Structure 1
C-alpha cells in the first residue's frame, strides 16, 4: 500500500498549469497599473517641494537683505550662475546655494523705489511639477501655486 502511494507521488507531474500562470500575470498587471501613476505623481510632488524649498531660501535671503537695506535690489541682482543661486548686493555677490534639478529660471520683480513698501517678489519657474512656478513676496509670503503677479 505504501509502495503504491510512493509510486503515484513520484510519477505525478509537478509544476504550474497555464491557468495559474495567467492568473499571476493578470494580478501583476493590475498592480503595475495602480503603481505606475502613483509613482509619477510622487515625482511631480518632489519637483514641487524642491521649487518651494528654493524659492523660500531665496525669499528669506532677500527679506534679510531688506532689514538693513539702503537701496532696492534690481531684477538682475538675483540669478542662476554655474548652477547656483546668487544675489548681488552692490559690488558683492552672495552664493545662496545649489539649484535643484528641474528648475528652469529665477526672476526677481523688484520693489518700488520706496524701501519701506517692500513690494518685491521672487519667482522660481520649473518643469515637471503640478504648477509652472512658485513665488515668495514681501507682501504675501510663500505662494505655492503661482508666480509673481
Structure 2
C-alpha cells in the first residue's frame, strides 16, 4: 500500500511540475511596465532623432554653397572653366566688392532649384545658404536654417 501511495504522490508531483513548465511567462503587469518604459524612451529619443535630418539638410546646403564658391574662385584665378554643381544656383550679387567688381553668389538649399517657380518637395529650407565670392575671397554670407 505504501508503494502505491508513494507512486501516486510521485505522479502528482510530476503532473504539477509539467503544469508549471507550461505556465511560465511574464505577468500582465510586467508587460505593461515594459510598454510604458518603451513609450517614455521613444517620447524622449524620437524628436532628437527626427531633428537630425533637418540638421543634415542645413549642413549640406552650407557645404554645397561654400564648395561651389571656392571652386569658382579657384577657376577664376587659374583661368579654368567652371560649371555650377547640381543643386546650387549661381548669380551676381547686389553688392560690389571692395575692388569695384560685382560679387558672385552661390545659393544652395533653395526650395526652387530648377527655376520653374514650383517648390521641389523636401529640398527647401527656411533660409537657403548663400556664399559670396569677391575676387578670390569666399564668405558664407547667409547660413542655411531649417
The two structures share one fold, judged by TM-score above 0.5? yes
Whether the 8 Å contact between 1:106 and 1:125 is mirrored in structure 2 is: no
Matched residue SS, 2:109: strand
Aligned to 1:125: 109
User: How much is the aligned-residue C-alpha RMSD, in angstroms?
Assistant: 3.6
Aligned to 1:42: 52
Aligned to 2:92: 109
Find out whether 1:61 has 2:80 as its counterpart.
no
Counterpart-to-counterpart distance in 2, 1:29 and 1:133: 36
* TM-score, normalization by structure 1: 0.58
Counterpart-to-counterpart distance in 2, 1:117 and 1:29: 59
Give the CA deviation at 1:68: 5.8
The structure where strand makes up a greater share of residues is 1
Q: In the superposition, relative to structure 1, how do residues 128 and 22 fare at CA in structure 2: closer, same or farther (>3 Å)? A: farther
Query: Which consecutive unaligned segments of at least 5 residues does structure 2 have?
Result: 1-9, 111-122
Q: In the superposition, relative to structure 1, how do residues 41 and 113 fare at CA in structure 2: closer, same or farther (>3 Å)? A: closer
Aligned to 1:136: 131
* TM-score, normalization by structure 2: 0.59
- Which is higher, the Rg of structure 1 or of structure 2? 2
Matched residue SS, 2:67: helix
- Structure 1 range deviating more: 115-124 or 15-24: 115-124
Counterpart-to-counterpart distance in 2, 1:61 and 1:123: 14
Query: Which consecutive unaligned segments of at least 5 residues does structure 1 have?
Result: 70-88, 100-104
The structure where helix makes up a greater share of residues is 2
State the number of aligned residues.
119
